[in-house]
Structure 1
Amino acid sequence: MFRSSIPARRRSQRGVARPALAVVVLLLALAGVFVHAWWQRIHRDASLPPSPVASGAAGSGVRPADALAPDALLRAARVDVAAQHLLAPVGDNAFERYLVLRAQPSSRGIADDALRELFPYAADQVAATIRDGHVDEAKRELDLLARADPANYTLTLLRNQLAAQEAQLAATAAAPATTPRPAAAVSLPQREPSASPMAVAPLPETRPPASPVPPPAARTMPSPKPVALVAAAPAPRVTPPVLLRRVEPYYPQAARRARRQGWVELAFTVLPDGRVDAVRVLQAEPGSMFDLAATTAVRRWTFKPATRDGRPIAMDLHQRLDFRL
């Protein structure tokens, strides 16, 4: 009786082990399929070439304006303002970043305030680009200004300046290049020497009769003419320029956050119409931190021009601007 129960128990154990073994085999098969698919996907991704956008961004080291999160985009825009990158380089400037931020509801107010504050300084940069003859770059920068504030009247003035510059460049390119022709050298005819020298017969020697030599006549010197005295012309009367409108420079945000103070010494020319031109930095401390703010503000000043004998003239001036918190 006892012997017959052992085979029955073994048969029941084998009956329980067979389903468990089948489950284990099924799990191993599924794991193998998953590992195979994962391995194929890794090799397929590794064989694909990198996308042009990613490779271009990695190669240039410049992240596009819309490739950053809002907080990082705002920090990058402030860095651009401190570095005077308001409109350039392409894709890495303050205006493009603030325009992207303005499209997001959470940062629209900050972006609007920044664009409104920076617009006049960016407009001055566009005017300088036009004066330098960089027409294509000026068009791109004008497009950024139009996206920021399409109704601003400054855009009309800048477009007129750009059209005048294009017309001047076209006229210069169409003018024929004329160079004065050198005058032909004129050679004088040379006299040919005679074949043989002419013989000259000697004259007979004659002596004049001796006669008394009269004394020389006395020479009379003319009396000196009176010299007319000419009065010296009076020196021209020059009056210096008089400042009529002064625009205070903005304080760079990076300098304000760092509690930095400094100064900039500028030289510029007051034109006969009272506008300011040729603004240049002579000295600055510290470095170039305040250069953009100082030069942009002085370009917007207006003067009563200097005069010479009542006629307006251009005159160079120096000005030091202090930045204090």
Structure 2
Amino acid sequence: MIKTRLMKLLKGSERYIAQNVLWQWLALLFQIAAIFAAGTFLQSMMMEHSDTVLFLRTALIVFCAFLVRFFCERMAAISSGKASADIKPVLRRQIYEKLLRIGASYNQKIPTSEVVQVTTEGVEQLEIYYGKYLPQLFYSLLAPVTLFVILCPISWKASLVLLICVPLIPVSIVAVQKFAKKLLNKYWGIYTELGDSFLENLQGLTTLKIYQADGRKADEMDLEAERFRKITMKVLTMQLNSVSVMDIVAYGGAAIGMIVTILEYGNGAVDFAGAFTMILLASEFFIPLRLLGSFFHIAMNGMSASDKIFRILDMAEEADGTQSLTDGPISVGHFLRTVHTCYPFLFS
């Protein structure tokens, strides 16, 4: 799920997203190399063909692979931070400049509390969208294809079964997308209403004290806070249920691939090293999409906030005047006559 208008805000951050995907892909390749080397060594031990040289070579490959994988994961994290670093100040600057153009009357169109909430927490939610969700989306498409191409020569049946089961996770994500969007829009609506009430009551606290209405307003805020708590619990319940479904699909698909691999090994179609590699890498078909599903709910929250951000940016602005002052000096007498004409009560 990609929002076109959010993508237009990247302005050069695309390279960091591409770097993030590249580092994750390289880490996957070295992980495959380490597992295949370990499987080959274990097969040699079973066949009593292992020696010290093979052991040292395998240990060196595994050690180097883990070092490179650690380096790649660190670089991917750095690229993730850079991908979202420029977005927050850009959005906040655009909102600030928009409010300046509208003028002090902006609060007649949108509550001040909503502006504060959107420019703080709302913008922060988009950090996950740019830094985590988008790179993971592209990597989730690349990783299963890469694994299928590499593992297909070992066992095309098991590889094909794993590849076929992979799309079940996006199907489960799409199934909850419509419900999640409605729920998150409702969540942000209640959240901004609560903030608006809090700010209004805080600004008018003196007046409430004078008329002894502060207790009634406190009770009203308690009801609004309880309403917000309930919608928050609904959001968390939806996310946990969705994660449970994705876990069942992911681990179930990996288990099916492992069973097919074991059957292939029992029939002699796959050797021990190949079966070992297939079993350990079966979950890697699903882990990227499983992680994408976790980021999806946070990204949905950010996208719901972005709707409110774009609503502020799309607010109509007052047109500038078409007349300008005439050149030349303005006399004091002319100024006084103009004031007398417009405001005669000042001279009564």
Structure 1-normalised TM-score?
0.17
Q: Which structure's residues are more often helix, by fraction?
A: 2
Larger Rg: 1
With a CA cutoff of 8 Å and minimum separation of 6, indicate the structure with the bigger relative contact order: 2
> Normalising by the residue count of structure 2, what TM-score does the alignment of the two structures yield?
0.17
Larger relative strand fraction: 1
